[in-house]
Amino acid sequence: MPKGWPMDGEQDCRTVEIEALAEAGVEDTVSRKPIGEFENAKTFNDGTSVQVKATVYPLYIDKVKRRWKERHERKRRWFSPKGTAKALKQPGLEDLLLDLKNNPRKNRSLLAIAAA
C-alpha cells in the first residue's frame, strides 16, 4: 500500500498518485475524497517513532509498469483488503479496510471512481 508524507504544493490525492507510481509502478486515477483515516506509529531507521494520522484515498489502477523507480527496493504484491490489513499489521487500517470490504457501496469515493 503506497504511503508517503505530504508534499509541499501538492494536494494529498496527488501525493497518492506520485507515491503509487514510485513505490509500486502503477499509474492510476485517485479520488479526491478519502475513504478514511487511521493512526499509527511511524518508525524510522534509527529506531525512533512518531504517532501519525494517515489519510487513505482509493485509486483505480490504469496501468501497471514493468519498470518503476523503486523496483529494486520493493516487491509489488497484490492483496485483498483483508490481506492488506493483516500484512501491514496496523489495527486502524485493518478496521477501515474490513469495513470497506464489507460495505463497498457505503463509500461514495469508490462509487465515483467506478462511474468514471
Rounded Cα–Cα distance for residues 41 and 50 (Å): 5
What's the pLDDT at 115? 42
Q: What share of the chain is helix, strand, coil (3-state, %, to 5)?
A: 40, 25, 40
What's the pLDDT at 112? 47
Tell me the three-class secondary structure of 50-95, residue by residue.
EEEEEEECCEEEEEECCCCCCCCCCCCCCCCHHHHHHHHCCHHHHH
8 A C-beta contact, residue 59 and residue 28: yes
What's the pLDDT at 66? 94
What's the pLDDT at 113? 44
Only one residue has cell 469515493, namely 109
**pLDDT (tens digit, 0 to 9) for every residue of the chain, 116 residues total?**
777 788 899 888 888 899 999 999 999 888 888 888 888 888 889 999 999 898 888 888 889 999 999 999 988 888 877 788 778 777 788 888 888 777 766 665 554 444 44
What's the pLDDT at 116? 40
